[in-house]
């Protein structure tokens, strides 16, 4: 089943939420979201990296965001904050905070919730994979705060601590990796998203052409941000 089809499985609970919101029973609507379980077909059971042989449960990000838009009408990433990168004895980790907004029923305006996630890796070149993955997980952690319908209680007493976990060693050659990063830089749609690639782009192993591309895209997206603002 595709995402659209899977979302239809949530219509029974979505309809109950709609009725409560229409009656302006907002607290009851939030309580229903918190106390509901996601449809069983939404739930993925994935192998645990921290406990081989075990599994943990998670919801796909596209379903979580689709359900948010269905319930609140408007929802999405408001801001990806500057990543915090730590190096310790040859290991690296990136921590990213994402502010995620949704339309607040009672005030008819945006409300923002923050999610945070960290990813570790053994090579600075892998940070270009770690940062986007941490951003995705941070979005999931933000949405989960709304309650059970979004998977908050799937893995009690332990949340999804092993995902996204450690990034595997790269299989690309230096040239192919550089080309891959260039493609990722061109596909960035926001200034904050592009800045998550800064550390890897300015690593001494990266070519000057990649750094030039980064600076050019940074100026372009900065102008776009000012125009929108």
| CATH code of residue 24 | 3.30.390.80
pLDDT tier at 139, thresholds 50, 70, 90: very high
Q: Domain end: 170, 190, 213, which one?
A: 170
Report pTM.
Answer: 0.68
Q: How many domains does the chain have?
A: 2
Task: Give me the mean pLDDT over the 128-134 stretch.
Answer: 80
Q: What is the DSSP letter of 148?
A: G
- The domain in which residue 80 lies consists of 3-170
Q: Please state which of the ranges 41-45, 94-98, 200-204, 222-226 shows the lowest mean pLDDT.
A: 222-226
Same domain, 99 and 180: no
pLDDT tens profile 145-176? 999 999 999 886 544 443 344 444 445 566 77
In Å, how far from its chain's centre is CA 209? 29
For residue 165, the model assigns a pLDDT of 46
For residue 141, the model assigns a pLDDT of 94
Give the SS3 label for residue 93. Answer: strand
Q: How far is CA 119 from CA 33, 147, 173, 174, 222, in A?
A: 29, 24, 22, 22, 27
Q: Is the pLDDT of residue 49 over 80?
A: no
């Amino acid at each position: 089943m595709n995402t659209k089809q899977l979302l239809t499985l949530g219509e029974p609970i979505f309809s109950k939420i709609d009725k409560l919101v229409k009656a302006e029973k907002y607290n009851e609507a939030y309580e229903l979201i918190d106390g509901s379980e996601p449809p069983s077909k939404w739930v993925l059971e994935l192998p645990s990296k921290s406990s081989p042989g075990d599994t943990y449960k998670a919801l796909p990000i596209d379903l979580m965001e689709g359900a948010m838009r269905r319930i609140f009408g408007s929802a999405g990433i408001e801001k990806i904050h500057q990543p915090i990168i730590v190096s310790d004895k040859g290991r690296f980790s990136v921590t990213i905070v994402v502010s995620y907004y949704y339309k607040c029923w009672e005030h008819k305006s945006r409300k923002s919730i923050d999610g945070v996630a960290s990813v570790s890796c053994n090579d600075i070149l892998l940070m270009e994979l770690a940062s986007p993955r941490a951003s995705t997980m941070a979005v999931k952690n933000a949405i989960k705060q709304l309650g059970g319908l979004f998977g908050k209680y799937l893995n009690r007493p332990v949340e999804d601590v092993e995902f996204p976990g450690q990034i595997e060693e790269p299989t690309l050659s230096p040239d192919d990796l550089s080309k891959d990063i260039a493609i990722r830089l061109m596909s960035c749609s926001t200034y904050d998203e592009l800045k998550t690639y800064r550390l890897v782009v300015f690593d001494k192993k990266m070519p000057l052409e990649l750094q030039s591309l980064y600076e050019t895209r940074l100026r372009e997206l900065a102008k776009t941000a000012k125009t929108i603002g």
